[in-house]
Structure 1
Amino acid sequence: MDGRSKAPGKVIIVGAGITGCAIAWHLARLGHTDVTVLDRGTLGAPLGSTGHAPGLLGRNAASPVMAALADYTAEFLMRLPGAVFNKVGSVEVARKAETADLLERKAATARGYGFEAHVVGPGELAGLVPYMDVSGLKRGLYLPGDGTLDARAALRGLHEGARDAGVTFRENVAVRDVLVREGRVVGVVTDDGEIVGDKVVIAVGIWGAELLKRHGIALPLFPVQHPYFTTAPLAVLDGAPAPSRHPMVRDLENVFYLREHGDRLGFGWYSHAPAPAEVAALIEAEMAFPAHGFHEGLSHDLFPVLAGAPIERKLNGIFSMTPDGGPLLGPVPGEPHLWVAEAVWVTHSGGVGRAVAEALLGLEPTIDVGAFAPDRFAAMPEDVCRARSLSLYNDIYAWPAP
């Protein structure tokens, strides 16, 4: 490629969550504003996973591409107006010797990317997170460049930036199918009629497979349920002036994470049996919290403050899994005018937005996301795709062996 933009004509983005808005923002920044973003909800009250994202942003990853996407996202969000990204750092902890060795390897990987990383002892951990019980810990990994974010604030910033640059947003427009004429995708079919465009990007999160199924496309995308609790205000955080003051914490052995929300704590866990979600009838990316199935796997022994703490909200949120845990990005095989940007975590949203925008414009990629093509599981039977995707849920913090 010669590095010059090849205008894709009118781009229709279906889904105004953080991924769709990030693509629109970057298209506009790259000079292409013939873009229409459609959403069946309102931008002020997102219906998808963005609306309830816990907002943990860790840059380090076993995959250099995922690390690069997260790093760009963190730096990008820090430039958005408002308190979107709070760089308080992250801590990962180890009780067992093998986990402590893993933290050493993860620190080496992080430094290889150019990220600041410190392997610390229990005393330093107690100073970083004063309300954490460090008595049983051997070691911790402290990554100062990580932090927490407000996904809704990020969404507002992206929407306003793209809108002010000339992107069109249409709320309360439900897309029912892609529009095909003479064997080619030429737009979308909505409750309000047909909308014609040159490129269609599906960025509807957990509903992606359901939408494309109507067009005869099997997308390897599997929605799962995930618990997230938010406490009532706690005395230990009384008067907290910022969304987070202390690092977010990941307990790799209990597959548990925790962050601050001002004077509240939020926490989630992946130690329960994976719970698939049927999403066709869902209006929002959440379901009723079940009486059984989630609590049985919960262990938060590092945080005595949570014992008996009043829970203000119990969220059963839905997000998507794929067979390798990566996103699905790019044109659908055999459908060059139909693209997907699916299974994207908030952590990588900015980087994905830039990568997809560059690809739509025919530009050389700043970060090559070719490994995340949506057809990479084409030879894998659907039942195997599903089983592998669900099996990754409990191993969400897994790290490749050396």
Structure 2
Amino acid sequence: MTVPDYDVAIVGAGIAGSTLASLLAPHARVILIDRDVRGLPGSTGHAPGVVAQINTLPVLTELARRSVAAYTAIPNGFDNVGCLEVVRGADGKNWIQDRVAVARERKLEHSVLTTKEAQSLAPAFVHDDATGAIYYPNDGTANAKTVTWHAQDLAAASGATLVDGNVTSITRLGQTYTITTSDDAHTARRVVVATGVWAGQLCPCLASRAVAFAHPYAFANRHAPRTRMAPFARFPDAVMYVRDHGDRIGIGSYNHDPVVVRTAATKVLPTAYTPFQPQFTHTMDDAIRLLPPSTAATFAGRVDAQPAELTMLAAGNVPYGFTGVFTITPDGLPLVGRINLGMYAAIGCWVTHAAGSMRVLADLIVADIRGEDAPEADEWLRAALDPCRFHPMADVECESHAVDKYKDIWNKKDQAKVLAAL
């Protein structure tokens, strides 16, 4: 019997796949394959990197805790700037009361601030019309590219093979998988699909379980780097967020009708960057108007970027907006675990949860390789992240719930309970 080239092949070298490779390489023969390993054409390449640990779903809080610990240990991997949830209007007090209850239950450090106190922490983000805020000092922003490249370097140092190649198919014969690229083929005993928005191409069963969405983001013109970056801010009523990237401000908004990017469309996308869509113009204008006038003015004259222009615009001083693509699952939890014999998924792992969820998956795969049981303490996480958990649900239902989750991106409702009742 022919021995496979590798124990584990990981397809997709974003923050999830690369982190997994770094964790597995000391224990197995690993190959990490991506169309551009260092270039990061997937959603990791444009991820805003905001990491908020508070969540109504306990699983996501736990994964975020673990991720923060992992990123903090990486040089320049995490900026502990804190997070502000800024409220406006009459419902603001109710939001604060609810969030304080969640923060206490999750044992997350937090403090309730007046508008002036919030403005003292983030004067560029908090307008006079705010009615208050909650501050979480242990949150921050992950440098997704830095974290990913660090993981790739660790994986290579432990013997992993990193290969550029556009994977066209994954086939199985007996207990061996063949991963075919446009230039070569590699065999492995196990394969992990960590391809993000392209998951449905290689694993059709994941197409409706990991739905790709278009999401608008914009950068202001440059400012002089501050001694300390401001906390990133989330505005729950407007479903928008803003952060300091060090020398310019970035803003994103979910306050629009969800735009699903079908598998047929992702198939021809060379990257997870797409042209700025005109339908997002009003969405971004509305979000920017929530900022203090002096900050809003730094977005004036922004360019609606095409993918080919992004490198040039990022290096310049012109405000610009673009559309990124990322995946959402029906319950907002990643798809992490065993799909079938020798095949695993690592999909929907946002930067907030990537390191934590990949440790769970790495422990499972190492246990499978050794013929042992995975750590009992993480059984609750493996069950919650099981990529097969939606198999009884029709595709149309899965997509419908994913669309609802985009509208409720910060889990104001407990979507897991909604799904459990089906």
TM-score normalised to structure 1 length: 0.89
Q: Which residue of 2 aligns with 1:34?
A: 29
Q: Which residue of 2 aligns with 1:289?
A: 276
Three-state SS of the structure 1 residue aligned to 2:352 is helix
> Residues of 1 paired with 2:8 and 2:220: CA distance?
42
Q: Which residue of 2 aligns with 1:364?
A: 375
Q: Which residue of 2 aligns with 1:230?
A: 219
Residue 120 (1) aligns with residue 127 (2): no
> Residues of 1 paired with 2:78 and 2:411: CA distance?
25
Residue 350 (1) aligns with residue 355 (2): yes
Q: Equivalent of 1:132, from 112, 115, 125?
A: 125
Three-state SS of the structure 1 residue aligned to 2:355 is helix
Q: Which residue of 1 aligns with 2:287?
A: 299
Residue 15 (1) aligns with residue 9 (2): no
Deviates more, 1:287-296 or 1:251-260: 287-296
Residue 252 (1) aligns with residue 236 (2): yes
> Residues of 2 paired with 1:376 and 1:116: CA distance?
32
Q: Which residue of 2 aligns with 1:170?
A: 163
Q: Which amino acid aligns with 1:345?
A: W
> Residues of 2 paired with 1:313 and 1:302: CA distance?
17
Alignment of 1:91-102 (within 5 A): 91-102=84-95
Three-state SS of the structure 2 residue aligned to 1:186 is strand
Three-state SS of the structure 2 residue aligned to 1:253 is coil
Q: Which amino acid aligns with 2:234?
A: R
For structure 2, the residue ranges without an aligned partner over 5 or more in a row are: 1-5, 303-318, 368-373, 418-422
Q: Equivalent of 2:203, from 199, 212, 215?
A: 212
Q: Deviations over 1:208-242 (max 9, x none)?
A: 012212xx7655111110011011114xxx34245
Three-state SS of the structure 2 residue aligned to 1:299 is helix
Alignment of 1:40-55 (within 5 A): 40-43=35-38, 45-55=39-49
Q: Deviations over 1:231-283 (max 9, x none)?
A: 1114xxx34245xx111000001111000011310000000111111201001
Q: Which residue of 1 aligns with 2:312?
A: none
Q: Which amino acid aligns with 2:329?
A: T
CA shift, 1:153, in A, is 0.8
Residue 84 (1) aligns with residue 77 (2): yes
Three-state SS of the structure 2 residue aligned to 1:103 is helix
Three-state SS of the structure 1 residue aligned to 2:260 is coil
Residue 318 (1) aligns with residue 309 (2): no
Q: Which residue of 2 aligns with 1:221?
A: 210
Q: Deviations over 1:48-84 (max 9, x none)?
A: 0000001101111111111111011111111112x11
Q: Deviations over 1:19-65 (max 9, x none)?
A: 0011111223xx4131111111131x111000000110111111111
> Residues of 2 paired with 1:87 and 1:202: CA distance?
31
Q: Which amino acid aligns with 1:364?
A: P
CA shift, 1:107, in A, is 2.4
Q: Which residue of 2 aligns with 1:240?
A: 226
CA shift, 1:123, in A, is 1.9
Q: Which residue of 2 aligns with 1:180?
A: 172
Three-state SS of the structure 2 residue aligned to 1:135 is coil
CA contact (8 A) 1:57 1:70 kept: yes
> Residues of 1 paired with 2:84 and 2:71: CA distance?
21
Report how many aligned residue pairs link the two structures.
Answer: 379
RMSD (CA atoms): 2.0
Three-state SS of the structure 2 residue aligned to 1:346 is coil
CA contact (8 A) 1:178 1:187 kept: yes
CA contact (8 A) 2:127 2:292 kept: no
> Residues of 1 paired with 2:101 and 2:258: CA distance?
31
Q: Which residue of 1 aligns with 2:337?
A: 330
> Residues of 1 paired with 2:136 and 2:377: CA distance?
24
Runs (4 or more) in structure 1 with deviation over 6 Å come to none
> Residues of 1 paired with 2:214 and 2:145: CA distance?
20
Q: Once the two structures are aligned, what percentage of the paired residues are identical? A: 30
> Residues of 2 paired with 1:204 and 1:11: CA distance?
15
TM-score normalised to structure 2 length: 0.85
> Residues of 1 paired with 2:99 and 2:59: CA distance?
16
- The structure with the largest helix share of the pair is 2
Q: Equivalent of 1:264, from 248, 258, 271?
A: 248
> Residues of 1 paired with 2:382 and 2:295: CA distance?
40
